[in-house]
Chain A
Amino acid sequence: MGSNMAECHPVGFQWVMEAKLRGAQLIHVDPRFTRTSAMATRYVPIRAGSDIAFLGGIVNYILEHGREFREYVVNYTNAPVIVDEGFKDTEDLDGLFSGFDEETGRYDNSTWQYAGMEVRGAVQSDETALSGHQVGYGGAAAHMRRGEPPEEDPTLEHPRCVFQILKRHFSRYTPELVEEVCGCSREQLVAVAEALCDNSGRERTSAFCYAVGWTQHTIGVQIIRTAAIIQLLLGNMGRTGGGIMALRGHTSIQGSTDIPTLFDILPGYIPMPHAHEQQTLAEFVQQNASTTGWWGRLDAYMVSLLKAYFGDRATAENDFCFDHLPRISGDHSTYQAALDMLEHKVKGFFLWGENPAVGSANSRLHRIALANLEWLVVRDLVEIESASFWHDAPELETGELKTEDIATEVFLLPAAAHTEKNGSFTNTQRLLQWHFKALEPPGDCRSDLWFMYHLGRRIREKLAGSDDPRDRPILDLEWDYPTEGEQEDPRAEAVLREISGWDTEGRAVSGFGDLKADGSTACGCWIYSGCYAGEENLPARKRPGQEQNWVAAEWGWAWPLNRRILYNRASADPDGKPWSERKKYVWWDETQGRWTGYDVPDFGADKRPDYVPPDGALAEKAIAGRHPFIMQADGRGWLFVPSGLQDGPLPTHFEPQESPFRNPLYGQQSNPARKQRRHRLSPFNPTAGHKGGDAYPYVLTTFRLTEHHTAGGMTRTVPYLAEVQPEMFCEVSPALAAERGLENGGWATIITSRTAIEARVLVTDRLRPLQVQGSELHQVAVPWHWGSRGLVTGESANDLFGLALDPNVLIQEVRGATCDIRPGRRPRGPALRELVESYPHARQERHR
C-alpha cells in the first residue's frame, strides 16, 4: 500500500516476485492499477487518502474475530497496560481525543499517559506547543520503575487497558464503513484481512511495504501507525518475512534522516535543543531522555556528539560546549523557510541536489520565494529549474516575475557525481554501502564534502581572531580533516571514522555501548557507532552475496551494530525459543548463555529471557528479558502511543484537507492538528460542505514513473530516459474522459486554487471510478517529474498543490487533494491567473 514497488523500486521488487514464486500472496491496495497491481494475487482500488479507513477495517477484523497473536500481544506490546482515566477517545468526542485546544490547534497529551505515571513537566509541553514537535522517541522523559508500567491486566479485559481501548476505537471500522469511505467493496476488505490473518502467527509472517503514497498526507504518520498496530497484533514485527518496509525514494534519504540535514534533530534522532532562558546539558538530558530503555544513555550519546563537534574545547567545565548549539523555537522546516523568503527574512539559501522549483509542493510559491532571496547557491550536475528561474520560470510569462526585477544573486557550482567521490549511502534497509571513486571530478566539479569543508575552512579563516562571542562556536569547531589529491578533497573515510567514534586513546569504538558521558569518547552519530570498529571501513565490505548466507551480513553494514532486522528478539517466544522452526531467526542458547541466530541479536547478548530488572535499574538494564522493543521505555511495541505524536495516541480516519466528501465517522472533518500554511500564493480549495467545494469535484494524486526520478534533474537530462518518457501527462478513466470531453493523446488543463497546468491525456482503465458515499468518484493522477528544462520539458504537477502538512513531520499532502479538469491547453500569459482566480479559493476561513 502507498507504494508502486514494481515501477518505483523495480530491482527490490525481484524479491517480492521470488516470494510469490514460492507461494506468497501479493496484495496491492492503491488508487491506480499499476504494474505492481498487475503482478499481484489481489488488487484493491481505494480512494486516495482513505488508507486509515482501510487499515482500520483490518484492525477491527482482527479484534472482532479474535485473530490476534495472543502470546505475542500480551508479552511484546502495550496491550495490557491501563491508560489514565482522564483519556477520552475520538468515539467519545466526535473525532477529537482528550486534550485538544481549539485555540492553538494542538493537543496536550497528559491524559494519554499510562495510569499511575507522573505527567511530563511543564517545560516539555511548552516545547511541544512551540515547535509543533514533540521531543522524545519511545517514551522520552517517562520514568518507569524497573521498566514496567504501573498498572497492567494480562487478561486484556480491563476496560481501560490498551487492548479494550483499541477495540472500542476501531469498532466502527466495519467492512460496510470501509466500503463507504474507500470505494472498494466490503468483500475485498474482508478478503485482504483474512489473507493477512491466515498468513500470520507462529508459522507464518506477513510484511507491509509502503512509500510516499503513505507519508504525503496530513495523516501520513498515523497511516503508518495503523500498519504498525496490525503488525503488532499479528506478531509480525522483529521476525523474518515480517515488518513494515519503508521504500524510500532517494539513495541516501535514510542517511540524511539518521545524520540529519533536518531542523529538529541532531545526529541519531537526538532532539535539537529548544529555546530556554537557561538550560544546562544535564537538564536537556533529563527532559529528553527516558530513564529506561536505550534512550536512557542519551547523556553519553550527546556528550560524545559534542566531543566530535568541538573536540578538546568541549570539557565538563564548559558543559561540553552545549551552549554553542543554536536553539529552535518553532517550525523551521523547508516550507516555513520558503514562506520566510517571501517576507525577505531568509537572505541566503543553499541547494544541494534538490530542486524545489519543481519538487516541492506549490512549486510556483517556491520559485517566487527564490526570486526574493539575496543570494542562492545551487550545487548540482546540471542547471536545474531552481537555478534558472530568473530567466525561464513560468511566472515570467504570466508577468508575475520580471528578470530585471529579480535581485537574487545566483551561484551555480557544478557538483561531482557519485562516480567521482568516495563515500557511503544509507539505503532504505538501513544499510550503509560505500561507493568508491572511479575518477576525479572534471573542471570545477567538486564533491559536496569538498564544498562544505573548504567553505567552512574559509569562513573560519576569515573569522580567525574574532572576539565576538557568536563566532566562538565556529572557531571552536573541530574542522581539521586530512585532504588528498590535487583538488584537496577531504578524506571521506576520516569523516566516517568520526561518525563511528573513538575513545581517549583515539581508538575506534566498537559500538554505542562504548560511549561515555564523561567526555572520554567522541562519536558523530551514536546509531552509526561501530561502523568503523576495529579500524575497518565496514560499509565498504563487499563480500559477494553468493559466498554468504541469505542474511549477507558481510555486505556493507546496517545500523545499529550490523543488525539486519530490528527488534529481532521478537522472533523468539518469551522463553527465547523460536516461535517456529520455519521462522527461526534469533534465539536464546541456554548452554552458551547467550542469544544466537542468523543475525546479530538486537538485544543484550547475554540478557536471559527470564531476566527481571532489579529496583533502580536504568537504561537498557531496566528492560526485562521478555521485552524485545529495547528503544521504548517499557520495552514493548506501542499499539497505543502515550507520547511522541502530535495528533493522537491512535490513528483515526480523517478526510484530506481538500476532499469532495464529508467525514462519515465524525463531525471532525480533517486531522484537527494538521498544519495549514496559508498564504496569498497558497490558498486551499474549499472542501466538501463549504461554499465552492463542488468546483473541485475530482481527487488529485501524484505518482512516479520508472524512467524518471523525482523532480527530474537526474533523468530529464539523460537522453535514453528522456526518450522513453518524453512528456507530461495525466491519467484519467474512460468514464471521466467521457464526462469532461477529454481525448486520449489530446490536452487537458488541471485546475486547483493554486494554479492550472496542462498535460497530455492518457485515458486508461488503470484508473477506475469508485463508489464513495453513494456517488461516483473520479480520480486524476499526474506524474511530477517535469519542469521547464532538460532534454524534455513539461509542466510541474507540484504547482497544483497547497501547503497542508502532517503535524508530526511537516510533510505536505500531495496524495489526495481536489481539482477540476477540462479539455484543451491552458490559457497563456496573464490569462492563466484569470482562469485560476475565476475558481473559488478558501484563503481565510478555517475549517475543522
Chain B
Amino acid sequence: MFGQLRDDPLGLARSARSRRSETLRPRTDRAERVVKSVCPFCAVGCGQLVYVQDGEVSQIEGDPDSPISRGRLCPKGAGTRHFVTSPLREYRVKYRRPHGSEWEQLSLDQAMDMIADRVIKSRRETWQEQDEQGRRLNRTLGIASLGGATLDNEENYLMKKFFTAMGAVSIENQARI
C-alpha cells in the first residue's frame, strides 16, 4: 500500500484507478456546448462554465480563464447546477385570489394582462400631483418594488426607467439592507 501511495500521497490518482474507472468519462465530455457565465451568488464574480446536454444544464464548473477565480468555485458556486435545476423550481405561473386558500393556474399572458391593469388602477388611485404646500410631486407611493441585487444591470436599468416614468419612487433593492 505504501508503494501505491508513493507517487500518489492523496490516493486520488493512480491508486484510485481500476479497469472500470478507465472506461468512465466525465459528463462534461458529452456536452453539446459550453457557455461562459458568472456565478450568481456572492459578489466576487467567479467565472463559470455552463455545460449543456440534451437541452439541459448538465454541469457547471469554474472557469480557469477567469483572472478572478482561476477556475475555483465555493460550495454554493459548485452547487449552481442544482440551483438552476432545483426540485423546488417553479415552471408555471401561480395565482392566489384575495382570501383564497389555494394556488390556482393562470396563463402567463393573462397574468401579465392582469398585472398591467392593477398597476394602472393603483397608480390612478394613489397619484399625488402635489403636496399640501403646493410642491410638485408627480408620483405614486402606492406601488413599491424590492429587488435587483441578483438581477442584471440591464434589468435594473429597465426597472428604474419604467418605474420612474410611471412615477413610482419606492423602488428599492438589497443594497439598502
Contact = CB atoms under 8 A, between A and B. Distances in A.
13 contacts: A250-B149, A255-B156, A256-B174, A325-B138, A381-B90, A406-B98, A414-B89, A425-B153, A442-B91, A443-B91, A443-B92, A463-B120, A715-B76
A477 interface: yes
A495 interface: yes
A251 B45 contact: yes
B86 interface: yes
Contact of B159 (A418, A439, A452): A452
A206 B148 CA distance: 33
B59 to A, nearest CB: 11
B119 A410 contact: no
B5 interface: no
Chain B binding surface, main DSSP class: mixed
Nearest to B163: A261
A372 to B, nearest CB: 12
B42 A250 contact: yes
Contacts of B72: 11, 14
B154 A324 contact: no
Nearest to B60: A419
Contacts of B125: 347
B136 interface: yes
Contacts of B171: 261-263
Interface string A414-438: 1001111101111111011111111
A418 B143 contact: no
Interface in B38-93: 38-48, 50, 52, 55-57, 60, 64-70, 72-77, 79-80, 82-84, 86-93
Nearest to B40: A418
B37 A436 contact: yes
Contacts of B148: 252, 256, 261, 352-354
Which bracket fits the contact residues of B?
35 or more
Interface in A249-303: 249-263, 266-267, 272, 275-279
Nearest to B162: A456
B4 interface: no
B165 A477 contact: yes
Interface in A1-52: 8-12, 14
A715 B83 CA distance: 7
A525 interface: yes
Contacts of A208: none
A359 interface: yes
Contacts of A617: none
Contact of B91 (A354, A444, A452): A444
Given A328-B169, A377-B115, A411-B114, 11 more contacts: A251-B43, A253-B175, A259-B156, A260-B160, A261-B147, A277-B134, A374-B122, A407-B99, A418-B38, A443-B92, A708-B76
Interface residues of A, number: 166
A703 interface: no
A714 B40 contact: yes
Contacts of A272: 169
Nearest to A310: B165
Nearest to A487: B108
B120 to A, nearest CB: 6
B143 to A, nearest CB: 5
A352 B159 contact: yes
A486 interface: no
A504 interface: no
A458 interface: yes
Contact of B173 (A261, A325, A381, A708): A261
A412 B90 contact: yes
B70 to A, nearest CB: 7
A433 B45 contact: yes
Contacts of B66: 545, 555
Closest 8 CB pairs of A and B: A545-B67, A423-B152, A352-B147, A427-B45, A443-B91, A326-B139, A261-B148, A428-B43
Contact of A717 (B86, B113, B119): B86
A492 interface: yes
Contacts of A447: 152, 155
Contacts, number: 492
Nearest to B151: A448
B22 to A, nearest CB: 28
B154 A353 contact: no
A160 B157 CA distance: 45
A353 to B, nearest CB: 4
A272 B168 CA distance: 12
A255 B151 CA distance: 9
Contacts of B86: 381-382, 717-719
B36 A350 contact: no
A546 B168 CA distance: 46
Nearest to B97: A409
A345 B142 contact: yes
B35 interface: yes
Contacts of A724: 75
A552 interface: yes
Given A435-B38, A439-B55, A542-B65, A496 B154 contact: yes
A156 interface: no
A263 B146 CA distance: 10
A316 interface: no
Contacts of B111: 411, 413
B90 A352 contact: no
B37 A349 contact: no
B71 to A, nearest CB: 10
A419 B84 contact: yes
Given A323-B138, A436-B37, A719-B87, A421 B152 contact: yes
A309 B45 contact: no
Interface string A686-714: 00000000000000000000111110001
A829 B95 CA distance: 28
Contacts of A361: 177
A740 interface: no
A327 B156 contact: no
Contact of B135 (A275, A524, A720): A275
B90 A414 contact: yes
A228 B154 CA distance: 31
A580 interface: no
A11 B76 CA distance: 11
A353 B147 CA distance: 6
Nearest to A253: B149
Nearest to A377: B115
Given A348-B119, A410-B96, A542-B65, A438 B37 contact: yes
A261 B168 CA distance: 11
A350 B175 contact: no
A445 interface: yes
Given A408-B98, A452-B162, A706 B76 contact: yes
